[in-house]
Amino acid sequence: MCPSSSCRQQEHHSGDDAIPTLESIPAELVETPLRRAGLEKWLRNQEPSFDPQESLLKRPFSSPGYHTTLKGGDVHPTRQSLSYALALFDHQGEREIQRARKILDRILDLQDRNPLSPTCGIWSWFLEEPLDKMDPPDYNWADFCGTTLIQIYLYHKDRLGAVLSQRLLAGLELAAEAIRRRNVGPGYTNIALMGTYVVLLSGIILRREDLYRYGMERLLRFAAYTRQRGAFSEYNSPTYTIVALDILELLNKHLGHTSSGETIRELHHFAWRHLLRRFHQPTRQIGGPHSRCYSTLLRSSALAFIQRSIPPTVQIQYMPEEEVWTCSDALHWQDRIPDDLLGYLQAPEHVRVESELLIRGGADPHDVLATTYLHPHYIFGSVNIGDFWNQRRPVIAYWRHRHGVAAWRLRCLHDDYDFSAADCYSLQVRNVIGVGMGFSHDRGDRHITLDRRSDGLFTLQDLRFRLQLEGDIDHLRWEQSGQDSVPSYRFSDETVVVDVYCPFACWDDDPDSVTFELLPDGSGFDIVLFHGEPRTLSWRELAASGAALIIQMRESGEPDRLDPRRISVAKVDSQLAVQWCVDDVRQRRNCRLSLPLLPDASAANHRKAKATLDEHDAWEASF
């Protein structure tokens, strides 16, 4: 983001402005035949899921594996039901409005309204699991549900009736107070923005100047924080960068005419550039690394989001227009990709490397850096310092072939679930990457924070690093060899060749106990650190453990840049050093990656790890 003087002057004066009037907030739906047809189709798709007995949607249970203790069955989700109510109001048919009122009334019943409760103002995920049964409650539901309540009130307050209208306002006030009480910092990108929107608009709707002032301060704090860092904390997230853009579009639509408008538009432009600079038109994927990602292959809803935002004068289409507009907010959509960023939507004619500083000194003493290699046929990205929480994609690649799109990524699995305590360090030079993997004892198991144990113990039956293949992969060919004493694997098709070398792996200081397995279905290979009877281990008693990989991805027929004979490792005490060479366009690059193998606190491990490129610090931004 550019710290322009005009923007800073705008920020300086914005706190002195009077609270805008409700009448000044634009609130008009955008009606076109295509949008109307899309909304009606979306509503028809939800019809089988509506439960008239509970006045909520009813769906098969699914979750990311935390916050809820439920394991299966059918559930009634609160957030999705509220979004359904908004879409019903948007339809404006009498039957739809009556159903929407019932859903809204039911959702407001489910909000915690006890002022003495720590969860006052929020909702549980599901009707079947009250807040006191969640593990733990998700305070983000005040932000998500609060945003939808605001849309219902702004666009449909005349359809609510006096009683329901007052109930909505009371629920909105509780949600806004919960958001202010929680006071999320600017590092939690999507919730920092969403909560800001809720308290700002709540301040206007409720005529609560204190909420409005708090929201304005929070917006300016977020903008300053993002400028200072140069990137969102939740960097390059196919899910949450789009959520951030959604909220920035709402902020611009509803508050763009105020003194905060320039700051909002600056953030909006930044978010679009952050997302699109890694968009790869041949695969129609957003290249890695991803800080938070729920689906390795880009969901159709995300691609539709991008297509809806392309100006109508630009002839780019990824899917049929009818499908693009089949969404719950079809009549609300007004976002547009800035004109100067439309070039990112074109297919790359030549290789391009996107390097981005994500956090300056964020992994003290190192910068956190993203590297993305965009080739006309594939895209390959990484972050130099990361972890293996199930939402992370620290090393990931995509390619297109005649059968479709495929992807590969690195994971660490503890008893068949992604292990948040595993570290990922890397050095990527063009299409070759070295990766070191170890462990930190101060993160959780399935979640980086929610399930941390204070006793330093963990239980396991199976622990492995995996190179995972996803998408259209049935046509791939696997080869395995152990030449030059370095276990190696190759998978390939008519489009790409990927070579994977594993020069080092050990568990509890015993390299001989580690085994290598190709998955029976061809969807990857594993470095098996441990597999046996369930054990309880202490991080403090565990000896050197980890692994290193050198991976090259290239187009079929493209010259080999990596000589496996020049891969070497050295282990001194509990520190591992891996060296390799990459034949770049005009020179040979000497790469070295060093990482700790003894489990320690995350910050301590980050300080011990380092990488050099031609003897220079590779983890210090030079741009």
For the stretch 435-444, what's the b/e string if a residue is b when 16 or more beta carbons lie within 10 angstroms of its beta carbon? bbbbbbbbbb
- Judged by DSSP in three states, 90 sits in helix
What are the residue ranges spanned by the domains of the chain?
Answer: 52-182, 353-617
| Residue 498 to residue 352: CA distance in whole angstroms | 19
DSSP string spanning 555-614?
ETTPPP-B-GGG-EEEEETTEEEEEEEEE-SSSEEEEEEEEE-S-B-HHHHHHH-EEEET
- List the beta bridge partners of residue 569: 578
Amino acid at 593: L
pLDDT for position 483: 59
Backbone angles phi, psi at 53, to 5 degrees: -65, -40
Backbone angles phi, psi at 214, to 5 degrees: -60, -45
| CB 568 within 8 Å of CB 578 | yes
Place of tokens 């611009």: 252
- Stated as kind and residue range, the H or E segment containing 616 is strand 616-617
pLDDT for position 16: 47
pLDDT for position 12: 41
| Residue 237 to residue 393: CA distance in whole angstroms | 9
| Residue 490 to residue 268: CA distance in whole angstroms | 42
Backbone angles phi, psi at 268, to 5 degrees: -60, -45
pLDDT for position 96: 98
Residue 361 burial (CB < 10 Å; 0-12/13-18/19+)? Answer: exposed
| CB 286 within 8 Å of CB 279 | yes
| CB 462 within 8 Å of CB 438 | no
| CB 299 within 8 Å of CB 323 | no
- Collect the ranges in the chain with pLDDT lower than 50: 2-16
| CB 285 within 8 Å of CB 407 | yes
pLDDT for position 131: 97
| Residue 492 to residue 552: CA distance in whole angstroms | 12
| Residue 610 to residue 596: CA distance in whole angstroms | 10
Backbone angles phi, psi at 449, to 5 degrees: -130, -30
Q: With respect to CATH, is domain 52-182 assigned 3.30.450.20?
A: no
Helices 209-229 & 5-14, crossing angle to 10 degrees?
A: 160
CA triplet 279, 234, 248: central angle to 5 degrees?
Answer: 75
pLDDT for position 17: 66
pLDDT for position 608: 97
